[in-house]
A = this chain, B = another copy of it.
Amino acid sequence: MTHVALSHVRALTFDVFGTVVDWRTTVTRELAATLGEGKGLEADWEALAARWRFEGYVGGIGAIRGGERPFTTADALHREKLDEILAELGNPLDEAEAAELNRVWHRLDPWPDSVGGLGRLRKRFVVSTLSNGNFALLVNMAKHSGLPWDGFLSADLLGHFKSDPETYLSAARALSLEPEQVMMVAAHKADLDAAAGCGLHTAFVPRPNEMPAGRPTDLEFEDRFDFNATDFHDLATQLGC
């Protein structure tokens, strides 16, 4: 990245699931605690966590973006898939227990560098979520984990899911910035490529422990991104924070 361009960047917008927080470990652990230890069931909890995420959330967003179903929130998509999984397991939870388990996505553990790295980055930049999660989920997650966000931009408030271009453009507009004054930070190349297509800068922070075993993940640094960093502390150092 040229230093001329860098000097114009005022805000960093972050993908959250996978980039800032470790959904796989937290969700696997809570499934095992609630359904395994709590109800005496046996299953491959990590495989169920992956189904919950990829079939429920990622699949649901794809259907919404494709116009096959109306707009809804991450919370609702999570609950729909959870109910399907619980039905397969013989409906072992009552309503209060199911609602509580669905909120596991509000209390995902941050990666070890997330809180400290964001704390460094926010001294120089506005740091905001730009997530397909919903506002309440992101706010509760920050309160739970101490993630020091300056603000929350979310699919429900912006009216679009990533990687629709409107998501990135309306985020820049909400920040009262031009797209080139914003840098998207993500562990996922498709997110960054869509942001770059809208004129945002890009920082790639691969997360080698995000994915369940057997699911391939592309961790290679790329020249086309403005920055490639091993974690948020490395990004803060490269950005002079």
- A-to-B contact residues, CB < 8 Å: 73, 75, 122, 126, 128, 134-140, 142-143, 150-153, 156-158, 174-177
Contact, CB under 8 Å: A135 / B75: no
- Contacts A136-B176, A142-B150 known; 10 new A-B pairs at CB < 8 A: A73-B176, A75-B176, A126-B140, A126-B143, A134-B174, A134-B176, A136-B175, A143-B150, A156-B174, A157-B174
14 contacts between A and B (CB under 8 A): A73-B176, A126-B139, A126-B140, A134-B174, A135-B151, A135-B153, A135-B175, A136-B175, A138-B151, A139-B151, A143-B150, A152-B152, A157-B157, A157-B174
Instruction: Compute how far the CA of A176 lies from the CA of B139 in the bound complex, rounded to whole angstroms.
Output: 11
B143 touches A174 (CB 8 A): no
Closest B residue to A138 by CB, please name it.
Answer: B151
- Within the complex, which residue of B122, B139, B143, B174 is in contact with A135, where a contact is CB–CB below 8 Å? B174
* Minimum Cβ distance to chain B for residue A57 (Å): 16
Across the interface, which residues of B come within 8 angstroms of A174, CB to CB? 134-136, 156-157
- Give the distance to chain B from A64, nearest Cβ to Cβ, in Å: 17
